[in-house]
Every structure is written in C-alpha cells, then in structure tokens.
Amino acid sequence: MDRQFNLAIVGLGGMGNWHRETIAEIDNISVCGAFDIKEERQQFARDKGLYAYGSFEEVLADPKVDIVLCATPNDQHHDIVVKALRAGKNVVCEKPVAMSSVELADMIAVAKETGKVFVVHQNRRWDEDFLTVKKIFEEKMLGETFRIESRVHGSRGIPGDWRQEKEHGGGMVLDWGVHLLDQILLMVPGKLKKVYASMSHVTNEIVDDGFTTELAFENGIRVLVEVGTSNFINLPRWYVLGRDGTAVVEWGCKGKMVRITDWSKNDAVPIRTAAGLTKTMAPRTEDTIHEDPLQPVNGDIHDFYKNVMAVIEGKAEQIVKPEQVMRVFKLMEAIFESAEKQQVIDFE
C-alpha cells in the first residue's frame, strides 16, 4: 500500500491512548493529533509528541485527517461520529458504538449518505481464547456443540468513572456485554429465537454491575453469557459442551479438552457419600476418555486497522459490519427488556 493515512484521536483517555500505541506499530498509518476536553489529556498528547487540536471543529477542518477515531465516553459517540462523517472523514468508533439502536441507525444512515467508512472497534473478535473456541465449534472438535458458556468475572465492582453513570452509557451490558455478545453472534449460525436475562446490582442501583443471559438459538444451541464484577472466585472464561467432549478455555488460551474415546465401555464406579450412592455422576474411567491440549489460534489486532485502510481504498470488505453491530445492539436491548420484565423475549 502506497498511501499514508492520518488519524486524529478524539478522546485521549485510556483507550484513546491504547489506539495511539497500537497504531504506532502499523505501517501506512499514523496519529496526526488528538483532541480531548480535559487540559491534562491535551498536555499528555503534547508530551507524547502529538499535535493537540484546540477544538473538535479544528479536527474536522484539518484536510490531512483521513480517519477520526472516537474514543470518548459512550454518550458522546453519536454526535462526534455523525459530525465527522458529515465533515467528510472516515470514522472508527469505540464500542459500545452508541446509547441505543436508534442512535446507531442514524449513524449508519449518515455513513451511507456520505459514502464514508464507519467501523466500530469490536476488537475482541481478535482475542485468542475466542478464536480458539470458534475453531473448536466450527471443526466440531467436541462433536456437535450443544451449549457454550462465556463469562468474564472480576471482583473490583464497576469502575468508579463514567461507567457508573447511566447518562454516559455506564453499566456492564454496554461495557463488556457488547464484546461477549458480538463474539457469540459471530460464531453461532442461524436465528436467535429467545433471550432471558437478569442484572446484578451488588455495588450500586443505578447501572448494572453484571448480568447473566441465556440465549436459545433456532438450531438448538444454548448459550450463557455472564459478566460479573463481584466474583472473588472466577468460573472459566469459556465452558463448551459437545456431544463427544467438553472444553475449558481461559484467557491466554490455557485450558483443555476432554473427549470420549470409547462409548462402549460404560462401567462406572459409583460415588458413595454418607447419604447415598450415584453411578450417573461417577467420573469416567481413564480408558474411555482422553485429555487433549487446546490448539490455540493466534489473532493479530493490527489486522483491524489494516482492514479499515483497505476498506477506505476499496480493496477489502469491512470485517466489523454495521449490520452485525446493530444485531448486537438489538440483543443488548432485549437483555435489558427481559431483565426488567423478568420475561423471555422473542428475538428473531
């Protein structure tokens, strides 16, 4: 690629800075400047050798800016994205892309109208644990998968910044749910028919500090997605059940698969407790199962920006498609509705 792309960061907080560092590792793209409403972050930009724009309007008026990255709190995304698109800029926006599917529909419409590229940073599509589970699923390494459980657990409560505040788009459904749900909808084919969810409010009553949702797909696959911030003992990141085996996959791709080698030998040594006996729950004997290491799949997050540049040049299809992001947003709304009504929601 001969062309050099200039990107301006709007919102140089924790994630804006992650983009700055990551872009520095990619050919053909560089950060030409940043704008943040906080003076200390403007100074941070200067300290890092970046031009600190005096206003958002100055970013939009700068002809050398090809791409605007929006990395502000969630409630600011819609207006920043729409103004940047209308100013003729291509836009990368952090997740969750908006506060509602209505806002997102408007952003997608403006992108179509202006003909500019609009991409949401669903970066956890490149997570190695996810890619490894996706391979297990797609290659039927456990036989037909019938259940997937995807969890992230922490014990620090919800972060003490804008993520605690509803008006800024706080809460864990929007913060972490958006990643986990995007991964599931990308991996499991077919329609998602039913959604049931409950929220947790351990640390506050204003925004959800965690949630659990059960998803029922038309093909029979059931998925549990859970985010917790008051979990002092973590359950596995992924727990995948197939007809012929089970996998546990942790962050960093640690884990294992246990698979059947011989269905015919079914003798079980019962488990005896003081109060009774069970053969059903007795562990399998070693000669009928085999423990296999995971086959980790590598992801390279630099491919995100490589794709953005190729899409702008008309040389590639967008990896994170607006319609996929919309489906995830509608699912998050169904999750809120289900939790509020304590009812199963018909989805697709």
Enumerate binding residues for ligand NAD (CB under 6 A): 10-16, 35-38, 41, 56, 71-74, 76, 94-95, 121, 123, 161-162, 175
CB of 141 to ligand NAD, least distance (A): 28
For ligand NAD, the closer of residues 15 and 289 by Cβ is: 15
Q: Name the minimum Å distance from CB 328 to ligand NAD.
A: 13
Nearer to ligand NAD, 142 or 179 (CB): 179
Q: How far is the CB of 93 from ligand NAD (least distance, A)?
A: 8
Contact yes or no for 157/209 (Cβ under 8 A): yes
Query: What angle, 0 to 180 degrees and rounded to 10, lies between the N-to-C axes of helices 14-23 and 302-312?
Result: 80
Q: How far is the CB of 191 from ligand NAD (least distance, A)?
A: 27
Do 133 and 257 form a contact (C-beta atoms < 8 A)? no
Distances (CA, A) of 89 to 20, 24, 129, 311: 18, 21, 34, 14
Of 37 and 271, CB closest to ligand NAD: 37
Closest CA to 62 of 29, 88, 26: 88
The smaller minimum CB distance to ligand NAD, of residues 247 and 306, is found at 306
The helix (H) or strand (E) run that includes residue 112 is helix 101-114
Residue 341: enclosing H or E segment and its boundaries?
helix 322-341
Residue pair 305/23 in contact by the 8 Å Cβ criterion: yes
Nearest residue to ligand NAD on Cβ basis = 13
Instruction: Compute the least distance from the CB of residue 166 to ligand NAD, in Å.
Output: 14
Of 11 and 242, which has the nearer Cβ to ligand NAD?
A: 11
> Which residue's CB is nearer to ligand NAD, number 57 or number 313?
57
Give me the least distance between CB of 56 and ligand NAD, in Å please: 6
Reduced to 3 DSSP states, what percent helix, strand and coil does the chain have, rounded to the nearest 5?
A: 35, 25, 40
